[in-house]
Amino acid sequence: MVLNQADKLSRADQLGIFGACDTGDSKKFTAGAVWRSCKSAFQIIRGNRARITRLAKSLIRSKAKAEQEALERKWTGIPRPSRIPAIHADFLNQVCGNDAEHFERFISHMAQVHITNGRPDNFENSKRVLGAGFDDAFAISMSLQRQLYGGDFKNESDWLSAAKAFQEWARENK
């Protein structure tokens, strides 16, 4: 029965089953060798079923624990919203300490970072290079930053990245 349905098995299972050859120098695979291989594997697994099940459950628990620990590390030092999606007011209250002016300075800083390709110290040079178009470019960048950091947070990663960026900026600008 197994031999008739071998094409339905995974590639790894097929290699395991058909990898057994008759004893001797012959590398020819026979139905008898394949059958003995399947039968032996089944007996080994059946005899160790309780142990295999216990080990599998242990692996699942340890993986879940590792994932939970990684999640906790990711949130270290960052206040969590009470629900996701979260609103901008939640972010202001929990991350910014309800200081809208501080948050606006953060938005302006992020717009500067955006317009200067990640180098806010090069802001005056960007003004000179862009000339008359600078005000429009900066307004567009401010609008983009308000959308990124001032809107609703649809998932945890949006919240986390905004909160981490705000906290890093706040540490640098105390």
Q: Sort residue 119 into left (φ over 0), alpha (ψ -120 to 50) or beta.
A: beta
pLDDT digits (tens, 9 = 90+) for 75-119: 888 888 888 888 878 888 888 877 778 888 888 888 888 888 777
The answer, yes or no, to whether residue 22 has pLDDT greater than 50, is no
- Whole-number pLDDT of residue 25: 45
> Global pTM?
0.51
Which ranges constitute the DSSP H helices of the chain?
A: 11-18, 31-47, 49-75, 88-94, 100-115, 123-130, 134-150, 156-172
pLDDT digits (tens, 9 = 90+) for 34-83: 777 778 888 888 888 899 999 999 999 999 999 888 878 878 888 888 88
- Cα separation, 129 vs 139, in Å, equals 16
Q: Which residues contact 119 (CB under 8 A, 6 or more apart)?
A: 113
- Cα separation, 62 vs 2, in Å, equals 34
